[in-house]
A and B are shown apart, each in its own frame.
Chain A
């Protein structure tokens, strides 16, 4: 008992001493961003297909073509300064931008660009289809994609596509220009440097990769020789903090500068603080329901229609999703070429009931919904459960983690699926191909689009979608997409509900971060910290 008082003093004094001596703020040229990075499985541009990875490589590599983040319809040159398209629409000629260097010091040439694109096809990983859909195969890619000289890149497609289609596809991650010499120096067993590049970088962008530790952090180091000018931040660190509540705590304490995964409820408490800036960045991700047409109840057109009237879009949008989503009911997200903004559906219990009655399900029925864990999807699913119940539909929510739910979905073993789908590149074909194309509805089909996963047999619509990428006149193309969206709106087994809005909270002393329409257009290169102007 004699020890009690000194012990107590030690227990309290110890941490107090620590907190004052060891809490040093991050240096002014280091930006620390809290973000969940557990979706990253590789940083090789030929392999990356998920959000965080896409964002990271967008800051490491330059792409041949980019767009103005404020107006997606304006294409700009990246590694390619300019381009022209042949009269027959099948040959694209790119002139490389002079004076660009990789962070290794090597010059950026058309040879690197050609090799990078060939590599995507030859490795044949998940995002390869973005380029492969132009008729490129490992056998022909070296002939079709080639460097005519140091500054000229030529791409030949198999058919005459709408010109912007290929260009927008090149704005995706697969269009990254990789340092051929550096990567080949790390090649092992003919893997084109893939194993090495998963955790390394070889780009010409504003940053290079110092280290990626899965589920811990990504550390990027600036490249002073970047062609747009050296970034102000010497280092950008993405710190993995799984708990949004913890992210918020650390933001308030000044341990991090930017928080990426806060929910609307958490942000609400920060709105009054003057040293925080809350930003909304619409993304091309849609939250939707997929009604499996293999289920005879859901296959009835009136039942499908009824579901579209049983979602309380406004209620869920206003109360649960709030700033994180906007009501959107067509399959092409706002901001993309040809997107329709129509929202014909409202929560209409009477009408839904009438439709169900006409379909012969007056007393309702029992059905299941697969929902993956995590934040808002579960809340929305529960709200839907309550909405559906008012029409006599007994909804059982089957939760699972994302991979589990996706496995079931891809095997067509679900009744209703709720989830999100993001565009792969900023062209309407990305989503049209997913939702409105199903050339082969059989169980062992090659193309397992979203329409296939829900067993929606649409030979006519599939052809329409396929023809839309060949429409060389912009006006004509837009009209085709409007037609496609209308058909999906009316007759599809998809209930598109919301378009995501990314919620970002920055400390007010941070400026210059660019939040574009997709994760791969979130740029760090112009970020600056002014620690003495804002509050600390």
Chain B
């Protein structure tokens, strides 16, 4: 962060207040960009939908009514009904929970794993680096969707297995980023200084390197979120993800595509939902990267 000439040179009172000031500055810069703000609003909207689902719709997403099949959008059913008479808007709203769950579960597994592997490989070097990077390369060598496909086919279709499959294919980029950052930090002056002062390897990694790896990691996480949502939808589309009657958006598109010509809303509405949420995450991630990590946005 550069200090502008207009600000006076005051030093923060503690680490905590330094962190807080940094957060405030980040927030201000984020909010200055209208696109990023739009992205944040979408994400907040998703969270609200997930939490307040019962309040947003009176319909039960699983309640079937065979006499109300395939009705077009109307005041009674904002997004129409699907092939079993279920209200689509309700399914989209409750589906937000599933989407959120997938994203959070995957990230909860992938980010720490990537951090661990990347830091270890980058800092320790030598054969540890070679072995870990080889394993990373093997997973990176796989077309992600196909590997996820094969894994889900092996484990059996279902939401949890889809999460496992996606997680297993999504961690390599994180490991690589963290490793690259770790390698470039390894010989930095402050690290050498810490070593001279007698700090052990673990302490150096945890206290010094990890915090500096977090910004690109967080940026990558937000950017990957939409990819995770799309992969999960893709699996659902192929029938391997969340299973009916769960209102997962990708699965809804899959079942709705049979009616695409006459009852377009069954497949289109969940598609719009996926699109908006993905876009939101991408806008936010883009803005976040502009603020936190502008120089390295060229590295894939």
Contacts and interface: CB of A to CB of B under 8 A. Distances in A.
In the complex, A touching B (Cβ < 8 A): yes
Interface of A: 243-245, 248-249, 263, 265-266, 268-269, 315-316, 318-320, 373, 375, 378-379, 381-383, 385-386, 397-401, 404
A245 B67 CA distance: 23
A268 B262 contact: yes
B269 to A, nearest CB: 16
Contact of A379 (B67, B84, B156, B262): B84
Contacts of A401: 153, 239
Given A265-B70, A319-B66, A320-B66, A397 B258 contact: no
B157 interface: yes
B84 A382 contact: yes
Contact of B258 (A263, A373, A381, A400): A263
Contacts of B57: none
A315 B261 contact: no
Contact of A265 (B64, B83, B239): B83
Given A379-B83, A386-B64, 5 more contacts: A243-B257, A248-B261, A263-B258, A265-B262, A320-B84
A248 B262 CA distance: 11
23 contacts: A243-B257, A245-B257, A245-B259, A245-B260, A248-B261, A265-B83, A266-B258, A266-B259, A266-B262, A269-B262, A316-B66, A319-B69, A320-B66, A320-B84, A378-B244, A378-B255, A382-B64, A382-B84, A385-B245, A400-B156, A400-B157, A401-B153, A404-B156
Interface residues of B, number: 23
| Max chain B Cβ within 10 angstroms of own Cβ: one of A249, A265, A266, A397 | A265
Contacts of A316: 66
A360 B262 CA distance: 48
Interface string B57-87: 0000010101101100000000000011000
Contacts of A404: 156
Nearest to A375: B258
B267 to A, nearest CB: 9
B36 interface: no
Interface in B228-287: 239, 243-245, 255, 257-263
A383 B66 contact: yes
Contacts of A397: 243-245
B60 to A, nearest CB: 11
A265 B263 contact: yes
A315 B69 CA distance: 12
Nearest to A265: B259
Q: Which 3 A-B pairs have the closest CB atoms?
A: A319-B66, A269-B262, A245-B260
B265 to A, nearest CB: 13
Contacts of B157: 399-400
A385 B243 CA distance: 13
A460 to B, nearest CB: 39
Interface in B125-178: 153, 156-157
A43 B64 CA distance: 43
A266 B153 CA distance: 30
Nearest to B267: A245
| Max chain A Cβ within 10 angstroms of own Cβ: one of B83, B157, B257, B258 | B258
A440 B83 CA distance: 43
Given A373-B239, A382-B64, A386-B64, A266 B245 contact: no
Contacts of B70: 265
B291 to A, nearest CB: 30
Contacts of B64: 382-383, 386
A318 to B, nearest CB: 8
Nearest to B245: A382
B70 to A, nearest CB: 7
Contacts of B262: 265-266, 268-269
Interface in B200-245: 239, 243-245
A399 B257 CA distance: 19
B66 A269 contact: no
Contacts of A386: 62, 64
A320 B86 CA distance: 13
Given A315-B66, A382-B64, A383-B64, A245 B84 contact: no
Contacts of A319: 66-67, 69
A265 B18 CA distance: 62
A263 B83 CA distance: 12
Nearest to B86: A382
| Max chain A Cβ within 10 angstroms of own Cβ: one of B62, B64, B156 | B64
Contacts of A268: 262
